[in-house]
Amino acid sequence: MSSVDAYYVYDYVWRTETWDVQQAVNATCTGGTCSWTPGSALPAGKHTYYLIAQNSVGFGDWSDPDTYWVDGPGANFNNQFTSLAESPYWDAVVGSWFVGNGFIYTSGAVNQFASLVHEDS
């Protein structure tokens, strides 16, 4: 088995629907565990990354995707609430919810909760 010459990282940002990292990296490997620090901060939100190794023989197999979250402003929330049809991942759990001009609201009820949930696709 040949040693690895390079690792390539591909990182997808769900909020912006873009690949923010697509590059060969100089990973530091110790005892079968490799690490790498990107040159700039990753955007906040949900990410999925893939890895592939290369050596003199060629490329290996792609890794299974792995998903993680980067915390920060706007990490998990960005919706303009123009209509529920345009915001299909929002769903009322309890109570009635309505869409206004750029916001979502409920009329509420005395001594009762109203809740809303967002589920990513």
Provide the residue type at 108 as one letter: G
CB 49 within 8 A of CB 39: no
Tokens of 101: 């001009």
Residue with tokens 């589920």: 119
Domain limits, the chain: 6-70, 79-121
φ and ψ of 16, to 5 deg: -100, -5
Question: What is the model's pLDDT at position 1?
Answer: 47
Query: What string of DSSP letters covers 94-113?
Result: ES--EE-SS-EE----TT--
Average pLDDT per consecutive 10 residues, the chain (121 residues; last block may be shorter): 80 88 81 79 84 91 88 54 56 67 65 62 50
Paired strand residues for 47: 13, 68
Instruction: Specify the DSSP element, H or E, that contains 91.
Output: strand 90-94
Question: What is the model's pLDDT at position 87?
Answer: 56
Burial 11-47 (b: 16+ CB within 10 A, else e): bbbebeeeebbeeebebeeeeeeeeeeeeeeebbbeb
